[in-house]
Amino acid sequence: MRGGTVRPPERFAKPILPGSLRREAGVDRGGRCGGKGWYKRGMAPRQHDPWPDTPPTAGAAGRSENGIFVGAGGNAGAWRLLDASANRAGEALRVVEDVLRFMLDDPHLTALTKALRHDLTALLASDEVPLRVMLRDVVGDVGPTVPAVNSLPRTTVSDLLAANAARGEQALRSLQECALVLQPGLASGFERLRYRLYDIERAALVAAQALKRMHGKTLCVLVDGSDNQAAFVRLVESLFECGARMVQLRDKSLPVPALVERARAALQIARRRRPDGDAVVLINDRADVAAAVGADGVHTGALDLPANLCRRVMGPRCIVGRTAHDMAQAQAAVLDGADYLGVGPCFPSSTKSFASHAPEAFLADVARNVSLPVFAIGGVTLERLDILAPLGIRRVAVAAAITSAADPARMAAAFIERLGQIAGPAGGSA
């Protein structure tokens, strides 16, 4: 009892704030407004109590010059919503960042997510937004009493990424909508952050799925159309028989009807050899041909159809490889949604002539900073694997060193064995 009245419910009691927050809010030791904080603007000192002793009612307080509502009335609910959304967004981004950092070991995507999280922090520090915490009401929040229904599972890396990216995107949308009411100048900033998260989510989920799908595929054999269909079939049959699990049909001179014929033959062999789908056939450059024959994927150059458009042609489950000649192209391919990278050219080649070759520093940089499977390409021979290994390269795409060998299958088997030794127990999982 105080002054003959009943004290209001505990949820409306004045919060006990740290001294620094009390001073920032302009609240004195008695809980009254009288300092230089947001409640003072337009009011005489000590005439208003930001946490009244009676339950708030709608419209009980006026709006300050900068948009904050005084006391617990007015738009207090909107500020509580913004506060909760800010917390959810920050928590979700931290989980996504940590998964990329510790589970995918991806410095590039980790850095992008960290920058996004820091930009969110900066937005939430704008104007009087930090003072939203003053209206936080954990005890009075009805949300915890509502049971979760059909929550997403958390059993894989992809589950963690998908669940927390979705949580972050929803929270950023909520922040955008609340800002339109409370701080309109910040709404577009929250919107831009949400679209950045969309890109990171796709790249992260593609990386997680690619590592799983490309597990054990350390050798990609590049084959042309051969002199005739029969010679092509014998070559591809021998490659899959010796243990190769990834073949790319690359022949720019072959007429389209013949290219389609070769592609279909290679796919029939792969499906017969590995009914589980673990042997894959990709088509170089021609996403249209790959889609027409139902190939497992396509590989395109840095100046060809980008990964996101390849998926429009072939569908979401296709494998999309991308050539990168520098770090900017590699990072762009990651954000475009590529499943793996072909980096090079690494050495002089008998099948192609190059004006220059990829510096070792670039190869090491890609291997270190991108979690996608990375295949070294261009002049790779069995002996040169030992040059690539110290750079972190664990996968290679090989043409003439295998297809022009006296026994292509035996040479392919030698590559697979040596690459297995280099990869160690991980077996090409990264």
State the CB neighbour count (10 A cutoff) for residue 206: 23
CA distance linking residue 290 with residue 312, whole number of Å: 12
Give the pLDDT of residue 152. 73
Q: Which residue ranges make up each domain of the chain?
A: 76-210, 216-426
Q: Which two tokens mark 168? A: 């972050």
H or E element at residue 240: helix 229-241
H or E element at residue 382: none
Residue 30's Cβ-count burial label (10 Å; 0-12, 13-18, 19+) is exposed
What are the b/e assignments for 48-78, b being 16+ CB within 10 Å? bbbbbeeebeeebbeebeebbbbbbbbbbeb
Give the pLDDT of residue 303. 84
* CB contact set of 378 (below 8 Å; sequence gap of 6+): 344, 345, 346, 347, 349, 352, 354, 357, 358
Query: CB of 204 within 8 A of CB of 229?
Result: no
Give the pLDDT of residue 384. 97
Digit-by-digit pLDDT tens for the chain (430 residues) are: 444 444 444 443 444 444 443 344 444 444 444 434 333 334 344 333 434 444 433 333 334 444 444 444 578 899 999 999 999 999 999 999 999 999 999 999 999 999 999 999 999 999 889 999 999 999 989 988 888 787 778 899 999 999 999 999 999 999 999 999 999 999 999 999 999 999 999 999 999 999 999 999 999 999 999 989 999 999 999 999 999 999 999 999 999 999 999 999 999 999 999 999 999 999 999 999 999 999 999 999 988 999 999 999 999 999 999 999 999 999 999 999 999 999 999 998 776 667 789 999 999 999 999 999 999 999 999 999 999 999 999 999 999 999 999 999 999 999 999 999 998 865 555 4
Pick the CATH number of 216-426 from 3.30.1360.10, 3.40.190.10, 3.20.20.70, 2.30.30.230: 3.20.20.70
Best CA proximity match to 335, nearest among 349, 348, 347, 324: 324
Tell the residue number behind the tokens 């054999």, with chain if given: 221
Give the pLDDT of residue 322. 97
* Strand bridging mode 219-223 / 246-249: parallel
Give the pLDDT of residue 307. 93
